[in-house]
Chain A
Amino acid sequence: MKKVADQDVPRAARTFRRWIIEQSRRSNVGHVASALSIADIMAVLWGAVMKAPGTGRPDRDRFILAKGHAALALYCALRWKKLLDEKTFETFCGDGSTLGQHPEHALPGVDLSTGSLGQGLSVGCGLAYGLRARRNPGRVFVLLSDAECNEGQVWEAAQFAGHHRLANLCAVIDLNGLQALGHTKDVLDLAPMADKWRAFGWEAVDVDGHDCGALEAALNADHGRSRMVVARTVQGKGVSFMENRLEWHYRNLTDDECALALREIGPA
């Protein structure tokens, strides 16, 4: 697979992780681990794959964060693309801020308000179908969580995209194996994930969700039909004491934990 030529993308992912930790501490809110687990996916999408994301260009690629609870990672991408200023970024979860724990389209750069799991992929299908009908070259990228696939509506959308061969639609699943109350394999086993999507008529590929080069190749591929990138990730990736630990779905950071996490992530 093609490797990312420069180091901008991995560097962006490190920056996102630092911002996620710093801002979680500042705002004293959770969902840290969910945001960390998609830092590399977001850096690749926003840094190397999508065309003019978050802008007003009609032919831009669209992005839907179906797993809306990781909004902080999206705000990082918007800040990194200079679509969101640092001061506004730091209002995250403050009274009256547009930057809630789930993204709202009232914030420039956010294509769809999300937060209720299972609904984003359907909108992505409608957008992809509509853009194709209008001969608009814009592509649609939807990022789902693994447990989100418990929702029946995801599979309604899966049928639709498969049937209509929406080649301008690419979805990514953040397969970190954890959900709110336990391991996905213990709650509702989703394996084999990629095979499920193949059975619905998608082109599906398994990748290491923290390998930026592999992610970029998978996200940019064109197979003439809807693509599913099953990104195997580690929840809390980059911070040893958060990795694969359920409590970081909820917990806030202490000052000491914040400092330790930033040391582990390293300089931006």
Chain B
Amino acid sequence: MRNAFVRSLIAQAAADERIFLLTGDLGWSVVDAFASRYPDRFLNVGVAEQNMAGLATGLAQAGFTPFTYTIATFASMRPYEQIRNGPILHRLPVRIVGVGGGFAYGHAGMTHFALEDLAIARAQPGLTVIAPADPAQTAAAMEAIRTVEGPVYLRIGKGGNPEVPGLNGRFALGRPEVVMEGSRVLLLATGAVAANAIEAARLLHADGIQAAAAVMAHLPYAPTPELTALLARFKAAVTVEEGYTAGGLGSLAAETIAQRGIACRLLIRGVHASPAGRAGSTAFLQAAERLSPEGIADSARTVLTAAPK
């Protein structure tokens, strides 16, 4: 996904002289392609994320469209107040790119797991929050945010994220993208872990359970008509996100169901407690939180037993 991001950025920068890339000393082999092509619009600001958020605010006030790039934890949490008081408060077109959301940096351990970035980003009504599922959707999201006036938090995977079958790079703000049809239960996922949800739907189909699967890459502050309409079609749903279960996609679905009066039983699948002290591959860490395809499929079976008839 990070390569898809930087390819899109390079393409956009050719036509849009406002585009500027800042990195907090991260992105070896990723940001170089941009830096060599547009040296005047690239800055490695050093390991200083708070300052980077302030610099981006100032650059945006000077007429640029700055993208800040670093690992999702450092992109979102370290400079959270600076983002709030800068680009959000002043409605500036700063794009905060957090690379390696969830367990993408699995071997790096807890300090590098971005588990609450989506929740804290979504807590700001003036921030557009997007976690694409695959490289093609990352490119589509990059296209879509060109017209977003205020700031954006774009949480992307690291490298090696597969294309999600059936998604075909679809993306629109506020809209879930259905990638597999089904009538009994909805699997609604965000971010790179969506690939596991789609695989879970396939497992359920093979087991005779008609599961639908959809990707909700944009996590809006409030329910959207498109999300409401999708959830209203189901009596059971499982949300899937690589992060803590409060404040993110599960919360968005719960708020939609409750506030719109939808008769849908919801199971929020994500990280329920601190995974401190456990490192490993992304797949291992996902499986430990039942975010593997099998774990998600089991969650669907569980929620079906509790769903209204």
Contact = CB atoms under 8 A, between A and B. Distances in A.
Interface of A: 105, 111-116, 119-131, 133-134, 136, 152-153, 156-157, 159-160
B51 A153 contact: yes
Nearest to B43: A129
A122 B55 contact: yes
B304 to A, nearest CB: 48
A162 B51 CA distance: 13
Interface string B150-175: 00000000000000000000000000
A140 to B, nearest CB: 8
B63 A134 contact: yes
Contacts of A122: 50-51, 53-55, 57-58, 82
Nearest to B55: A126
Interface of B: 40-41, 43, 45-46, 48, 50-51, 53-64, 66, 81-82, 85-86, 89-90
Given A122-B82, A124-B58, A125-B54, 14 more contacts: A105-B90, A113-B85, A116-B81, A119-B86, A123-B58, A125-B55, A126-B61, A126-B66, A127-B62, A130-B63, A134-B62, A134-B63, A159-B48, A160-B55
20 contacts: A112-B57, A112-B90, A113-B89, A113-B90, A121-B54, A122-B54, A122-B55, A123-B86, A126-B58, A127-B58, A128-B58, A130-B58, A133-B41, A134-B62, A134-B63, A153-B54, A153-B82, A160-B45, A160-B51, A160-B55
Given A113-B85, A113-B90, A119-B82, A157 B62 contact: no
A55 to B, nearest CB: 15
B82 A127 contact: no
Nearest to A58: B63
A152 B50 contact: yes
A129 B57 CA distance: 11
Contacts of B63: 130, 134
Main secondary structure of the interface of B (DSSP, over half): helix
A114 B167 CA distance: 43
Contacts of A152: 50
Contacts of A159: 46, 48, 51
A130 B45 contact: no
A156 B58 contact: no
B62 A131 contact: yes
Contacts of A121: 54
A113 B60 CA distance: 14
B50 A160 contact: no
A130 B20 CA distance: 10
A116 B85 contact: yes
